[in-house]
Structure 1
Amino acid sequence: MTSGRIIADAFDQLRLYTSQREASEHIALLLLISTIGKLQNDYMSLGLKFERLDEFLDLYSTNTIDREQILIKTIEDLQYRNPHIFIGLTSIVNNSIPARVSRDTWKMLQALPLPTLEHGLISTGPLIEDLLRRGAVSDREGKTLVTPEPILRLMVGLTYPQEGQSIHDPTCGAGSCLIAAARYVASNGGDPTNLRLSGQDINPRALALCGLNLAAHGLINVDLRQGDTLAEPKFVDAQELEQFDLILTTPPLGLKQPTPPFRSFGRWHPSMLSKSRADVAFLLHAAAATKQGGKVALLAPLSLLFRTGVEADARESLLRAERVEAVISLPPGALPYSNVSTALVVLRAQEMQKPVWMFNAQSVLLNWREEDRAAVIDNVNSILEDCKNAVIGHLSRPVSFDELDSNNFNLDPNVFVKGNKLQVDPESIFAELKMLEESFVKADEFWKSSFEKMIHFID
């Protein structure tokens, strides 16, 4: 039986007792503990600390009465000894699932192939990612915790994560961006465990899933902290904002909550903040938290790039500092859980007298469906190749500061690059119409002949 079939059967079993999201999370939690148990030496060498795991492994398959307590004690031990990565993990324990059913699920998971280390990452990771994505499909809140794969590929492909870098996500959700960076490093021959990964999120459940997700991939050198990134950034050193080599983030889109007078930490002048939207504050936070020579890839609502007022002032400030490297407008449906038009903004942390690279990808297929995956990967690679080689065409071109200035510092690529348009070829249309006409004539002759034969037969 394949891994996918085993996971699907376990999922279907739990769905009889709980929601789709909770079933996915419970299986992911059991799968993480199973993976740590099977790769104890590897996890210890990575720096993970645990004590009660062997007790859990001995008792959980047979004990039904104390099933919940055994699980909670095991998780509490992991949290206590590894607080940098496991935060609120006990909140994922699902008390509505009968002990017998949870035990049976555990036994089903033991039939999975033994986890292995592949390019420095543990093979169980993608299974847990898929579980979390499956759970997010039915959960309004959960949908924002995972970032679609095409967007992640674009983000890392535009910023080139490197072994040894500090990589941060100030709105980390379930850790999609951090894992994408590690996977990029591994695929390019680097050691993903030699990354300093960190993240902050206001949602405790998000952080619990983030730690679970990262650990399942074998990423233990992580620092996760809970809190509101805008109001109370947790990564602060001597009252100054800590800076990172790379920031990858997909903040809440169009967050319509008034922005109070937050402490600046060098992130902004109060006059730059919108009184109704937090989008510009996330952008300015990411810009300020980047080291000299570093980069930012941030998913933003497209409207942030053309709204007037304080947001135009913030864009002007970043452009005058020569911080904006590229902007890619994404197609409708790039985010399956939102109708908001979006764009990727790439910032650099040093002044470079270069124009802003604009790419209009609104006509490019980037929706991640099973039947479209190969085409989507080709499209992502094509966008990255064009950006890397500065290909000027109908989808992309450089835009100078003077041109941006004359457009009120509008950063919407659709203003500067019109993208694909429907090409009308009159001759081909005429040929198609001629063929249709001939088909209709033949069909008409056929039915007339058939009708005459039927009349003749009746007579």
Structure 2
Amino acid sequence: MTQQQLEKYLWGAATQLRGTIDAGDYKQYIFPLLFFKRICDVYDEEFEKALEEGDGDLEYATFAEHHHFLVPEGAHWNDVRETTVNVGVALQDAMREIEKANPDTLYGIFGDASWTNKNRLSDETLTNLIEHYSQHKLSLSNVADDKLGNAYEYLIKEFADDSGHTAAEFYTNRTVVKLMTLIMNPQPGESVYDPTCGSGGLLLNCALHLKEEGKEYRTLKLYGQEINLLTSAIARMNMFMHGIEEFSIVRGDTLAKPAFLHNDALKTFNVILANPPYSIKAWDQKSFANDPYGRNLWGVPPQGCADYAFQQHIHKSMDPNNGRYAILWPHGILFRDMEAEMRKKMVQEDQIEAVIGLGANLFYNSPMEAMILVGNNNKPQERKGKVLFINGKADVVYNKGLAYLTPEHIDKFYKAFKAFVDIPHYAKVATIEEILSHNGNMNINFYVKRENSNADLSFGKAFREWNESGDKLKESMTNLFEVLQ
């Protein structure tokens, strides 16, 4: 199959569910089913290969070392396919058995979908789904990791388009992810962390970026935490579908109970990429005030907005020698009064390297404007005491209600970040002192003056010119009348 045919085939399963369940719930059934099929088809392929190597020795072909994942007897796709009554029970049991057989890698990966609820999914609907995915073998020889991984990303995007307000939970605009990855420039062997990883797109992109550059991507250490059970499972499946096996994605609340610790302190990472949830109100502010990991180093954020709780968590999670981050935030964290004191302390740390303003509509189902906050605790000498502001609000393309960055836009942003110089009406290098003179306000418009920001002066100039031309006209008309008279 071509990439397009594969995507059409995989998305075709979702059409079986239309009218049966809400579009926002498709993912909790389609992703586990697809992953179940992939595991079984790859297992069969590996079994045949081992059987050939072992001269037909069946026992030899079942040895764990020949398989990515073990599929216990009775838990294969074909076993479920042969079931005609209580199909949901058979599916659920098979998935649980596979999880048990692979506790270190697949525990809980199939999520907690209600496969046995016949009011939602009848035997007929499930049989149709299973038959749809039985049309093609999803083995490695038929569908390579790259191709299936791309198709899986396509499904994530389609579900985001289809599911309305839930999209932001698990999908970050991929063109923005590309820009963030370029700026971070992860290297082989480094650790990469996303404290609110969603479907794992930011982490995954780091590995794929190295792969595209022909560098050793398998030594990259990927870590993620995600509060939502289903979304964390989707993230893990996403890694496996792309052929990435060295990762640790843990379900849990990052602020209340961070998953990655070292000697009772927060584990630190070389690269942190994140698109945290914005302005959440339901968080444990009281515990953060006495945080055992010392994350309240600038202060305690207000109950109604946890943004600076995440920002301080990220700051505290940077590798002390070579830590850097790129965080996607709404512009509010740059200038809101309620966080002014914390923001000033953040600026004084001199770890903010750049503030990159993006255009509107890059968040799913939201006209909100985004910006990327770039931090680095090992700034080059020439960047110390300085912050680069980029106003790229105009560098965005709109198509059918969606916004994205073109390769040209990404290149423009990246080159401006690398150059770290003033560019009229686009980029400005400001000193820490200058920012603090604005009381720590990092509103991009304070620093980068757009061409139309001098509108009053332009209007004044135009008004003067209009007056002058009026006087000239009046003078010439007077002269004409004198001549005629």
| Structure-1-length-normalised TM-score | 0.82
Q: 2: CA distance between counterparts of 1:336 and 1:289?
A: 28
Cα RMSD after superposing both structures: 3.2
The answer to whether the 8 A contact 1:37-1:53 is kept is: no
* Structure 2 residue aligned with 1:211: 236
* Structure 2 residue aligned with 1:294: 323
Match of 2:17 among 11, 14, 19: 14
The answer to whether the 8 A contact 2:330-2:368 is kept is: yes
Match of 1:337 among 340, 365, 374: 365
Q: 1: CA distance between counterparts of 2:279 and 2:77?
A: 45
Match of 1:23 among 4, 23, 26: 26
The answer to whether the 8 A contact 1:148-1:335 is kept is: yes
* Structure 1 residue aligned with 2:268: 243
Residue 130 in structure 1 maps to residue 130 in structure 2 = no
Alpha-carbon distance, 1:158 to partner: 0.9
The answer to whether the 8 A contact 1:145-1:206 is kept is: yes
> How does 1:380-459 map onto structure 2 within 5 Å?
380-390=410-420, 392-393=422-423, 394-419=425-450, 421=452
Match of 1:314 among 336, 342, 348: 342
Match of 1:362 among 368, 375, 393: 393
Bigger relative contact order, structure 1 or 2 (CA pairs below 8 A, ≥6 apart): 1
Residues 1:260 and 1:389: Cα distance change in structure 2 (over 3 Å): same
Residues 1:150 and 1:366: Cα distance change in structure 2 (over 3 Å): farther
* Structure 1 residue aligned with 2:38: 35
* Structure 2 residue aligned with 1:265: 293
Residue 97 in structure 1 maps to residue 121 in structure 2 = yes
Alpha-carbon distance, 1:212 to partner: 2.0
Letter in 1 for 2:342: A
Alpha-carbon distance, 1:256 to partner: 2.9
Q: 1: CA distance between counterparts of 2:262 and 2:312?
A: 18
Residues 1:314 and 1:114: Cα distance change in structure 2 (over 3 Å): same
Q: 2: CA distance between counterparts of 1:135 and 1:159?
A: 28
Q: Which moved more, 1:231-240 or 1:262-271?
A: 262-271
Letter in 2 for 1:268: N
Letter in 2 for 1:99: D
Alpha-carbon distance, 1:372 to partner: 7.6
Q: 1: CA distance between counterparts of 2:402 and 2:378?
A: 41
* Structure 2 residue aligned with 1:143: 168
Q: Could you give the per-residue CA deviations for residues 385-406 of structure 1, whole angstroms, max 9, x where no partner exists? A: 2212335322112111121111
* Structure 2 residue aligned with 1:173: 198
SS of the aligned residue for 1:253 comes to: coil
SS of the aligned residue for 1:243 comes to: coil
Q: Could you give the per-residue CA deviations for residues 272-309 of structure 1, whole angstroms, max 9, x where no partner exists? A: 43343100111111011011212111111211111235
Residues 1:192 and 1:46: Cα distance change in structure 2 (over 3 Å): farther
* Structure 2 residue aligned with 1:443: none
Q: Which moved more, 1:402-411 or 1:348-357?
A: 348-357
The answer to whether the 8 A contact 2:186-2:210 is kept is: yes
The answer to whether the 8 A contact 1:295-1:347 is kept is: yes
SS of the aligned residue for 1:161 comes to: coil
Residue 162 in structure 1 maps to residue 187 in structure 2 = yes
| Structure-2-length-normalised TM-score | 0.78
The answer to whether the 8 A contact 2:28-2:230 is kept is: no
Residues 1:136 and 1:71: Cα distance change in structure 2 (over 3 Å): same
* Structure 2 residue aligned with 1:453: none
Any unmatched runs of 5+ in structure 2? Answer: 48-63, 463-485
SS of the aligned residue for 1:192 comes to: coil
Letter in 2 for 1:293: N
* Number of positions where the alignment pairs a residue of Structure 1 with one of Structure 2: 423
Residue 107 in structure 1 maps to residue 107 in structure 2 = no
Residues 1:318 and 1:207: Cα distance change in structure 2 (over 3 Å): same
* Structure 2 residue aligned with 1:279: 307
Q: 2: CA distance between counterparts of 1:101 and 1:74?
A: 18
Alpha-carbon distance, 1:338 to partner: 2.6
Alpha-carbon distance, 1:90 to partner: 3.5
Q: 2: CA distance between counterparts of 1:165 and 1:92?
A: 35
Match of 1:58 among 78, 88, 109: 78
Letter in 1 for 2:110: L
Q: 2: CA distance between counterparts of 1:152 and 1:45?
A: 36
The answer to whether the 8 A contact 1:56-1:71 is kept is: no
> How does 1:183-198 map onto structure 2 within 5 Å?
183-198=208-223
The answer to whether the 8 A contact 1:167-1:248 is kept is: yes
The answer to whether the 8 A contact 2:28-2:111 is kept is: no
Q: Which moved more, 1:106-115 or 1:143-152?
A: 106-115
Alpha-carbon distance, 1:244 to partner: 1.1
